[in-house]
């Protein structure tokens, strides 16, 4: 009977430790940790993944501690690692919102805003469109499987029970933020170029025809050209984002031997 109790306690400890990392990652992972997803659904999904993953990662888990303080430190470290993985994915997902905002400024729709369900706040038309389309493509291309694999394979990178590399986490977050902004700028670069060329042309026209009300001509032309360019580049900019998103998430996968 005592042996059975010890085995049951060990199994509960393993499930609890795995759930701490998986569940905390689920809070921030794109598509899964959104505000419109019911917390019950997230908990059930995290619990189901924990039950499946726990037997696989059990060899990587430390022995059951005898002190509640040590257990609290272990759980805190696992929660921090899960939040780190989710934060990296969330920062990369914010690339589309940044790119959409830059595009909206260039095509004259900066003040046209609608509700963005992904951030539960107002956003520009283009940022909401691009963000929702990117979220749909994440699931259509099975990119959510890559995120979940990253969470599972992170046990080979961040061993439970060891001190989390806080310095590496900080550096990774800063690099991801800078990479996210760079990708957003690359996505919006066609619109920046066309907008610059348009304003140069309008400046020349205004010098040649001072009596022309240039602002009444510029805004409709800017919006029409912006929409045409968005139609032409829409698929390309989303594919460009997906490639970079996959490259970042593959950093959490275990190396193939």
- CB count in 10 Å sphere of residue 202: 17
Q: For residues 135 and 147, give the distance between their C-alpha atoms in angstroms, rounded to a whole number.
A: 13
State the pLDDT at residue 180: 92
State the pLDDT at residue 5: 44
Band (56; pLDDT cuts 50, 70, 90): confident
Predicted confidence (pLDDT) per residue in 15-33, tens digit: 888 888 888 888 888 888 7
Q: For residues 216 and 209, give the distance between their C-alpha atoms in angstroms, rounded to a whole number.
A: 14
Q: Which of 151, 99, 160, 105 is nearest to 130 (CA)?
A: 99
Predicted confidence (pLDDT) per residue in 211-239, tens digit: 767 677 777 778 888 888 888 888 888 99
Segment among 19-23, 91-95, 117-121, 162-166 with least mean pLDDT: 117-121
State the pLDDT at residue 212: 67
Q: Which of 142, 155, 97 is nearest to 123 (CA)?
A: 97
State the pLDDT at residue 205: 75
Q: Which range, 156-165, 195-204, 233-242, is most confident?
A: 233-242
More confident residue, 12 or 21: 21
State the pLDDT at residue 64: 76
State the pLDDT at residue 4: 38
Average pLDDT over residues 114-127: 72
State the pLDDT at residue 8: 44
Buried residues in 100-134 as b, exposed as e (16+ CB within 10 A):
bbbbbbbbbbeeeeeebebeeeebbbbbbbbbebb
**Percent of the chain residues topping a pLDDT of 90:** 11
Average pLDDT over residues 24-49: 84
Tokens (6 digits) for 27: 């809070």
The whole-chain average pLDDT of the chain stands at 82
Band (256; pLDDT cuts 50, 70, 90): low
* pTM attached to this predicted model: 0.84
Predicted confidence (pLDDT) per residue in 61-112, tens digit: 877 777 778 778 888 888 888 899 989 999 998 898 889 888 888 887 777 7
Q: For residues 136 and 53, give the distance between their C-alpha atoms in angstroms, rounded to a whole number.
A: 26
For residue 21, CA distances in Å to 43, 62, 76, 82 come to: 12, 14, 9, 4
State the pLDDT at residue 181: 92
Q: 116 - beta bridge partners?
A: 121
Residue entry with tokens 């900066």: 110
Tell me the CB-side half-sphere exposure of residue 33, using CA atoms within 13 A.
20
Q: For residues 147 and 168, give the distance between their C-alpha atoms in angstroms, rounded to a whole number.
A: 20
- CB count in 10 Å sphere of residue 206: 16
- H/E stretch holding 116 reads strand 113-116
Q: Which of 82, 81, 85, 103 is nearest to 93 (CA)?
A: 85
State the pLDDT at residue 118: 66
Q: For residues 26 and 46, give the distance between their C-alpha atoms in angstroms, rounded to a whole number.
A: 7
State the pLDDT at residue 221: 79
């Amino acid at each position: 009977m005592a042996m059975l109790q010890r085995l049951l306690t060990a199994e509960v400890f393993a499930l609890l430790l795995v759930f701490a990392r998986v569940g905390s990652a689920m809070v921030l992972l794109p598509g899964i940790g959104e505000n419109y997803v019911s917390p019950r659904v997230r908990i059930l999904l995290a619990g189901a993944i924990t039950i499946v993953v726990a037997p696989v990662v059990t060899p990587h888990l430390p022995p059951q501690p005898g002190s509640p303080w040590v257990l609290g430190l272990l759980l805190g470290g696992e929660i921090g690692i899960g939040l780190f993985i989710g934060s990296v994915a969330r920062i990369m997902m914010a690339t589309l919102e940044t790119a959409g905002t830059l595009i909206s400024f260039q095509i004259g729709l900066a003040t046209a805003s609608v509700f963005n369900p992904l951030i539960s706040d107002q956003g520009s038309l283009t940022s909401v469109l691009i963000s929702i389309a990117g979220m749909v493509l994440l699931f259509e291309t099975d990119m959510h499987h890559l995120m979940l694999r990253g969470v599972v394979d992170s046990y080979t990178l961040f061993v439970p029970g060891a001190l989390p590399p806080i310095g590496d986490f900080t550096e990774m977050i800063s690099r991801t933020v800078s990479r996210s902004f760079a990708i957003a700028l690359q996505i919006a670069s066609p619109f920046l170029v066309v907008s610059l060329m348009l304003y140069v042309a309008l400046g020349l026209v205004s010098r040649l025809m001072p009596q022309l009300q240039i602002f009444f001509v510029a805004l409709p032309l800017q919006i029409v050209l912006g929409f045409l360019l968005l139609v032409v580049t829409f698929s390309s900019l989303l594919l460009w984002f997906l490639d970079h998103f996959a490259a970042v998430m593959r950093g959490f996968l275990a190396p193939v031997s």
